[in-house]
Amino acid sequence: MHKDHIRLAVVGATGAVGTEMFRILEQRNFPFASLRAFASERSVGKTIRCKGKAYPIEVATPEVFKDLDIALFSAGSETTKLFRDAAKKGGCLIIDNSSAFRMERDVPLVIPEINGDDIKAHKGLIAVPNCSAIVMLMAVCPISKLSPIKRIVVSTYQAVSGAGAKALAELEEQTQDFVAGKQPVAKVLPHQIAFNLFSHNTAINEAGYNGEEWKLIHESKKILHNDSLAITATCVRVPVMRAHSESVNIEFKDARPTLEHIHKALAEFPGVKVVDDRENNYFPMPLDASGKDDILVGRIRNDISNPKAIDLFVSGDQLRKGAALDAVQIAEYLVKNDLF
């Protein structure tokens, strides 16, 4: 199919990731013959703009997919499960931001800069990884090419916008209440988030890990094609508006690469920007990462407690590279290689 004939849709168009998708489609001038926007009934009557045109919000039904080629999904796991079969029957390829099918064997889980070739094995659905996994692996991947990695220990500092627009509004409201001397009230998140932080608000499993940690661990292994990689994670929600940050300790199987080689590998990797100014104590920050496509990497140093390990700190916009941008990049790969 010629790229100018692509019939594209965004499902979950009015959510935080969906609206970001429309911005990115315009910014990257993604080619399409038609574009449709789907959301819930309460959004019907609204429009969303892309490339100078307003697109009306529609409610998706199983029948719409026969008239589509690619659908970018960001409406939650249940929506993807509901429409997966209809999309496949209609010949529409799904690029899904939910966790519904990420760990299925026949579903590619893709960060294009890292394992783009996995897209070629798709069977009608391609999954976008967890945002924390994307942010971490964009830094880990170029380093892993220098020397095999044995173990990763990661702690995340996750922005409130990752929990949705209502959680973001709650942080703003609680902050205003706190400054005004009022007691902040938690309605969306389980605890006060203003001037506080807490373990990521997903269910704890029998091993004692929450859902976000479990995704980060197991999705990373799948993306890197390395089931033997040892990973442990602690995921924390922090009172930051946008962009996740992570502290990452990487242990190598053999001798660790030099810091010079690590800097060079990171600087040359697409989608990564090194921010490592020791003299001015300037390193990756969520304020700098917000609204940007690159993953910022810094605090690159040898681990003095382990001669085979290094430490680093990363920040990345979880709505862009951690979700919407990754989905659009997958679509671009499909178009470029005529894989749908």
Q: Among all residues, which ones are annotated catalytic?
A: 131, 244
Q: In what order do the strands lie in the sheet with 230-237?
A: 198-199, 230-237, 149-158, 244-252, 309-316, 295-302, 272-274
**How far is residue 82 from each of residues 68, 73, 142, 204, 297, measured CA to CA in Å?**
17, 12, 37, 26, 38
Q: What is the mean pLDDT of the chain?
A: 96
Segments of the chain with pLDDT less than 70 = 1-4
The DSSP call for residue 163 is G
* pLDDT on residue 250: 98
* pLDDT on residue 78: 97
Tell me how far apart the alpha carbons of residues 274 and 262 are, in angstroms, rounded to a whole number: 10
Q: How many domains does one find in the chain?
A: 2
CATH number of the domain that residue 27 is part of: 3.40.50.720
Domain match, 106 and 169 both: no
* pLDDT on residue 3: 57
* pLDDT on residue 338: 86
Domain match, 329 and 309 both: no
* pLDDT on residue 340: 73
* pLDDT on residue 164: 84
* pLDDT on residue 1: 47
Q: Are 192 and 186 in contact (CB under 8 A)?
A: yes
Domain match, 244 and 297 both: yes
Domain match, 277 and 331 both: no
Domain match, 201 and 282 both: yes
